[in-house]
């Protein structure tokens, strides 16, 4: 072959598709000398390919390389991967129809350890180069129509006259990142390349590798990067696959790697906010049935404002999500379902996941929609736990600084609507409801709520949450509240609410902490209020907000009665079970 290659009148590149598979098989020969000679021959062929890319039948050799990129022999795999790298960078979009096969070969290599570091590095270059071939125009092409013609871009003479590698060892020296800057299209300006993106095949390969739990972390990250890239470049076509991808993306939130979860959240956030995912039918029926009238359209529970023609005094409990699509609400519903079915995920990663989503999406929309969903939650114990988690995030996370400021003053109709929506769900947990009133400076209502605590069943968990609330009051987030203690005359209900918490607590460290704080309040005599006392400024603000606090208080009592009944039912079942065990 080397002799024939040296003859000027014979162009072996024309016959390379017929002999390439055999050359790679010879590369696995037991004789070191034969392997070396074959390696040199392959290096000479690659040198000629780089010199004359316009005469190379790239497409006919693509599948041969895909097969040998998965070889068990390291030398064969590395050599084939180096060829694949050059093919992708020289042929460009000609290789695009073979993307699913290339990814099948390349993705597992990305998780190789240092023993196969060279193969891993070349595979990474192949992966990045292939990803760059996908362009927004692919979203406009219809696979059902004749292949679209795309003009090729010429490469510069400089890139073609680059010093050539001859052996596999020399291939490895080219992994300096400059290869990614080479042109990605067939270097022949007079030709036109007909290609189409086989998105179904690519998504199938990506889905398989993400579903395989034995796949390494770097491969899973690469798969998520690919899916994110496809949703950015070809959103219209990708949303046809969202229904099948959605379950596996939700399961990936349970991954052991924080980096994998971050990439997964970025992808889910893109799906939830992309305009391509918006349905024309709106949110569907109010019963929340999952009947789909079209391939993309999804029905989610109707908003509270749509459930009844009679408004509830500005207390609608659904988010206004102009930048979110139909998948956003479905994502929130399924995320909460996952937290409900997998409590360890909620405990270990719940706060992390929600905080990241607040950075990636609109925090107000997330809290508004979750509160709306939890309002309909039948598992009251989970609802209480979830509300406590959300409240802790709301009060402590730096990511939610703006949302806290929005709630602190309740100056706008949107902020008041958000408060009412959160309040209705926060009622699943009495102490978090009080903390929400403290955050929003609704001190009189907080005092009214604490008065109702005498009718509740006081449990150890309840007292523990009161203890935690006292600790929170001493945190920087409630600095403004502590400063308002100086203005006794205008904040009598704040002081009375704090004394109410003090009376609930047993003699504990939290009791001592709050007691010491209240001892710092100046002029205790001014705490007493009479009918002639002027309304406080904070009371004036809330009174002017047109929020029906009487109705909210009734809602609180109603929700807590449900919790009481549920606890008694659980206790009754446990008692019956104990009796059976005794019998």
Sorting pLDDT into bands at 50, 70 and 90, what band is 574?
Answer: low
In this prediction, residue 276 carries a pLDDT of 85
Which stretch of 70-74, 143-147, 306-310 has the lowest confidence by average pLDDT? Answer: 306-310
Q: Is 56 exposed, middle or buried (0-12, 13-18, 19+ CB in 10 A)?
A: buried
Cβ atoms of residues 197 and 224 within 8 Å: no
Cβ atoms of residues 279 and 297 within 8 Å: yes
Q: Check whether 467 has a pLDDT greater than 90.
A: yes
Domain segments of the chain as ranges: 1-136, 198-276, 327-428
Per-residue pLDDT tens digits for 175-193: 333 333 333 333 433 344 5
Per-residue pLDDT tens digits for 471-519: 999 999 999 999 999 888 889 999 999 999 999 999 899 999 999 999 9
Cβ atoms of residues 152 and 92 within 8 Å: yes
Sorting pLDDT into bands at 50, 70 and 90, what band is 542?
Answer: very low
In this prediction, residue 177 carries a pLDDT of 37
Q: Where are the beta strands (DSSP E) in 178-235?
A: 192-194
Distance of CA 284 to the CA centre of its chain: 24
Average pLDDT over residues 421-445: 95
Which stretch of 102-116, 230-244, 453-467 has the lowest confidence by average pLDDT? Answer: 453-467
Average pLDDT over residues 109-132: 95
In this prediction, residue 329 carries a pLDDT of 92
In this prediction, residue 60 carries a pLDDT of 92
Q: Check whether 143 has a pLDDT greater than 50.
A: no
**Nearest alpha-carbon partner for 484 in 411, 541, 553, 432:** 541
What percentage of the chain carries pLDDT values higher than 70? 75
In this prediction, residue 305 carries a pLDDT of 34
In this prediction, residue 210 carries a pLDDT of 94
User: Length of the chain in residues, anyone?
Assistant: 583
**What gap in Å lies between CA 87 and CA 68, rounded to an integer?**
14
Average pLDDT over residues 400-428: 92
Per-residue pLDDT tens digits for 328-349: 999 999 999 999 999 999 999 9
Which residues lie below 8 Å from residue 310, measured CB to CB, with a gap of 6+? none
In this prediction, residue 576 carries a pLDDT of 58
Which residues lie below 8 Å from residue 531, measured CB to CB, with a gap of 6+? none
In this prediction, residue 158 carries a pLDDT of 35
Q: Is 411 exposed, middle or buried (0-12, 13-18, 19+ CB in 10 A)?
A: exposed
Cβ atoms of residues 198 and 101 within 8 Å: no
In this prediction, residue 313 carries a pLDDT of 36
Q: Check whether 352 has a pLDDT greater than 90.
A: yes
Q: Check whether 323 has a pLDDT greater than 90.
A: no
Tell me the pLDDT of the chain averaged across its residues: 80
Per-residue pLDDT tens digits for 251-271: 999 999 999 999 999 999 999
Element holding 573 (H helix, E strand): helix 549-582
What is the 3-state secondary structure of 347-385? Answer: HHHHHHHHHHHHHHCCHHHHHHHHHHHHHCCCCHHHHHH
In this prediction, residue 146 carries a pLDDT of 43
Per-residue pLDDT tens digits for 37-95: 899 989 988 998 998 888 889 999 999 999 999 999 999 999 999 999 999 999 999 99
Sorting pLDDT into bands at 50, 70 and 90, what band is 13?
Answer: confident
Element holding 36 (H helix, E strand): helix 32-51
Cβ atoms of residues 126 and 118 within 8 Å: no
Which stretch of 59-73, 289-303, 422-436, 543-557 has the lowest confidence by average pLDDT? Answer: 289-303
Q: Check whether 433 has a pLDDT greater than 90.
A: yes
Kindly tell me the sign of the dihedral angle through the C-alpha atoms of 15, 21, 27, 33. negative
Q: Give one DSSP letter per residue of 47-93, joined into a string.
A: HHHHH-GGG--HHHHHHHHHHHTT-SSHHHHHHHHHHHHHHHHHHGG
**What gap in Å lies between CA 538 and CA 548, rounded to an integer?**
16
Cβ atoms of residues 469 and 424 within 8 Å: no
What percentage of the chain carries pLDDT values higher than 90? 58
In this prediction, residue 247 carries a pLDDT of 94
Give pTM, 2 decimals. 0.78
Cβ atoms of residues 184 and 132 within 8 Å: yes
Average pLDDT over residues 188-210: 77
In this prediction, residue 427 carries a pLDDT of 95
Sorting pLDDT into bands at 50, 70 and 90, what band is 530?
Answer: low
Q: Check whether 162 has a pLDDT greater than 80.
A: no
Which stretch of 133-137, 198-202, 319-323 has the lowest confidence by average pLDDT? Answer: 319-323
Element holding 150 (H helix, E strand): strand 149-151
Average pLDDT over residues 204-222: 94
Which residues lie below 8 Å from residue 276, measured CB to CB, with a gap of 6+? 235, 236, 238, 239, 325
**Residue 157 to residues 85, 125, 297, 530: CA-CA distances in angstroms?**
19, 22, 50, 91
In this prediction, residue 155 carries a pLDDT of 35
Q: Which residue has the higher pLDDT, 7 or 79?
A: 79
Element holding 35 (H helix, E strand): helix 32-51
**Residue 62 to residues 45, 66, 180, 184: CA-CA distances in angstroms?**
15, 6, 19, 16
In this prediction, residue 141 carries a pLDDT of 65
Q: Check whether 171 has a pLDDT greater than 90.
A: no
What class is the 198-276 domain? mainly alpha
């Amino acid at each position: 072959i080397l002799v024939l290659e040296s003859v000027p009148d014979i162009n072996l590149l024309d016959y390379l598709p017929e002999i390439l598979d055999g050359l790679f098989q010879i590369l696995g020969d037991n004789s070191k000398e034969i392997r070396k000679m074959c390696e040199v021959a392959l290096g000479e062929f690659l040198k000629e390919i780089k010199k004359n890319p316009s005469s190379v039948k790239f497409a006919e050799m693509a599948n041969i390389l895909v097969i040998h990129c998965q070889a068990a022999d390291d030398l064969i795999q590395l050599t084939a991967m180096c060829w694949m790298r050059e093919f992708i960078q020289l042929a460009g979009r000609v290789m695009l129809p073979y993307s699913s096969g290339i990814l099948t070969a390349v993705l597992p290599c990305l998780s190789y350890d240092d023993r196969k570091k060279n193969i891993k590095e070349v595979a990474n270059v192949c992966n990045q180069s292939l990803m760059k071939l996908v362009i927004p125009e692919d979203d406009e092409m219809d696979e059902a129509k004749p292949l679209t013609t795309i003009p090729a871009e010429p490469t510069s003479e400089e890139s073609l006259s680059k010093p050539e590698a001859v052996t596999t060892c020399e291939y490895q020296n080219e992994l300096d990142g400059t290869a990614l800057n080479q042109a990605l299209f067939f270097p022949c300006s007079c030709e036109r390349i007909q290609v189409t993106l086989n998105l179904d095949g690519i998504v199938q390969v990506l889905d398989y590798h993400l579903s395989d739990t034995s796949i390494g972390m770097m491969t899973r990250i690469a798969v998520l990067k690919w899916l994110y890239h496809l949703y950015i470049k070809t959103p219209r076509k990708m949303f046809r696959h969202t229904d099948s991808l959605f379950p596996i993306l939700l399961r990936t939130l349970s991954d052991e790697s924080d980096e994998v979860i971050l990439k997964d959240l970025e992808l889910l956030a893109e799906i939830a906010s992309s305009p391509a995912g918006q349905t024309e039918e709106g949110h569907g029926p109010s019963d929340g049935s999952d009947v789909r009238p079209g391939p993309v359209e999804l029905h989610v529970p109707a908003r509270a404002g749509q459930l009844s023609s009679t408004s509830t005094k500005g207390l609608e409990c659904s988010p206004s999500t102009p930048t979110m699509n139909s998948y956003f609400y479905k994502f929130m519903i399924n995320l909460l379902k996952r937290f409900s079915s997998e409590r360890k995920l909620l405990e270990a990663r719940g706060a992390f996941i929600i905080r990241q989503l607040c950075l990636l999406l609109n925090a107000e929309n997330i809290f508004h929609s979750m509160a709306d969903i939890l309002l309909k939650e039948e598992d009251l114990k989970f609802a209480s736990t979830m509300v406590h988690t959300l409240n802790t995030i709301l009060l402590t996370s730096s990511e939610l600084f703006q949302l806290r400021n929005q709630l602190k003053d309740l100056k706008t109709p949107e902020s008041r609507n958000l408060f009412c929506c959160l309040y209705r769900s926060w009622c699943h947990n009495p102490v978090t409801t009080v903390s929400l009133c403290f955050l929003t400076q609704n001190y009189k209502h907080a005092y009214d709520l604490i008065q109702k605590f005498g009718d509740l069943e006081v449990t150890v968990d309840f007292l523990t949450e009161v203890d935690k609330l006292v600790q929170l009051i001493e945190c920087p987030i409630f600095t403004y509240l502590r400063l308002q203690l100086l203005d006794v005359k205008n904040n009598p209900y704040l002081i009375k609410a704090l004394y109410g918490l003090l009376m609930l607590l047993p003699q504990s460290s939290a009791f001592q902490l709050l007691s010491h704080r209240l001892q710092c309040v100046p002029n205790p005599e001014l705490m007493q209020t009479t009918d002639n006392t002027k309304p406080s400024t904070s009371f004036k603000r809330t009174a002017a907000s047109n929020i029906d606090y009487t109705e909210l208080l009734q809602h609180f009592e109603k929700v807590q009665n449900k919790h009481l009944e549920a606890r008694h039912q659980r206790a009754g079942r446990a008692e019956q079970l104990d009796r059976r065990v005794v019998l």
